[in-house]
Amino acid sequence: MRARPLILHGHIALLAVLCLPLASCGENVLRPADRAEVEQTVAAMVNGEPVFVEDVELEAVARGLISAGTDFGPQDDAYTLVLDQLIDQKLMAQEAEKLGLDRDPMGRRRLEMARERILGNLLVESLVSVKVTEEAINRMYGEQVRLQQANDRVRVAHILTETEETARALYAQIEGGASFESLVFNNSIDTRTRMENGDMGWLSPNDLAEPFPVVIANTPAGEVSPPFQTDQGWHILKVKDRRTEPPKTREEMRPEIATFLTLNEVSRILRRLRTEATIEQGGGERYVPSTDPAPATPDPGDDL
């Protein structure tokens, strides 16, 4: 398998069409499971019609003011601002209905288009809830780290213990001010490196077993990683030096990966739907799209 770097530009047009009302596809989408847990609590009544707390939260998520699942209510400054705007929106909608604008042919068509757009966004949310999981993000991040560290050289040291309990106790000492080097000799079970303060020398991260490459990517030079497990036991890793720039951390890359995974799934389903659909232009001629949906990129585990 040949890994490939994360490329988003091929999906940007698709993002603009399907995710415009959302603050960030894959990042701030309020997923179905989240919506089911939100109670239908009335935030305000406008001429007898309710504005629900859920509506305020959904709007705040869509604008990127909060992340899905964040506690949000009247105690937040943004809550009152969003609620005021939803009240104004409902007042204007009520006035438009009084004037019969919703029954005008052009008004009906525009309402139908808005309905289609919302249904498309609901489909995106559904795809995100199923496909854009932390496991999928971790898997793609691991692939990206290996690509970005392909030519890296780092100098690392480690403490190897048999149990998680021992490793976490040592890590707590380091966080409390103890030096990494002072703990190696009496605690590391790696006889090859403990006489050298745990020093493993200069190496390529990709030559090490998982999850060493990801741990190295997320540990700045001069700092120590939290404990992690391999087949050998439990490690505490210190990145002593780098000869190249480190890749982005998982948290830095997470929004981009989440967006990529979302658009990848959207492109997959659009390609299937276009294949199965009968699409004709006015007059019965076969419709030829100006552009194809963004091509789906194979998952990191797929054979290319």
Q: What is the pLDDT of residues 109-145, one digit of tens each?
A: 999 999 999 898 888 888 888 888 899 998 998 888 8
Domains of the chain: 151-242 (3.10.50.40)
Q: Is the pTM of this model over 0.85?
A: no
Q: Which pLDDT band, with edges at 50, 70 and 90, does 293 fall under?
A: low
Q: Which pLDDT band, with edges at 50, 70 and 90, does 74 fall under?
A: confident
Whether 39 has a pLDDT exceeding 70, the answer reads: no
Whether 186 has a pLDDT exceeding 50, the answer reads: yes
Number of C-beta neighbours around residue 189 at 10 A: 13
Q: Which pLDDT band, with edges at 50, 70 and 90, does 75 fall under?
A: confident
The amino acid at residue 50 is P
Q: Which pLDDT band, with edges at 50, 70 and 90, does 21 fall under?
A: very low
The answer to whether the CB of 167 falls within 8 A of the CB of 234 is yes
Percent of the chain with pLDDT over 70: 80
- CA distance linking residue 302 with residue 1, whole number of Å: 7
Q: What is the pLDDT of residues 249-282, one digit of tens each?
A: 888 888 888 888 888 888 888 888 888 888 777 7
Whether 31 has a pLDDT exceeding 80, the answer reads: no
Higher-confidence position of 197 and 125? 197
The token pair at 128 is 């995100």
- Max distance between CA atoms of the chain, in angstroms, equals 85
Query: Left (φ > 0), alpha (ψ -120 to 50) or beta: where does 189 sit?
Result: alpha
User: What is the rounded average pLDDT of the residues 182-199?
Assistant: 94
Residue 189's nearest CA partner among 164, 211, 223, 161 is 161
Of 23-27, 178-182, 209-213, least confident by mean pLDDT is 23-27
Q: What is the CA radius of gyration of the chain?
A: 26
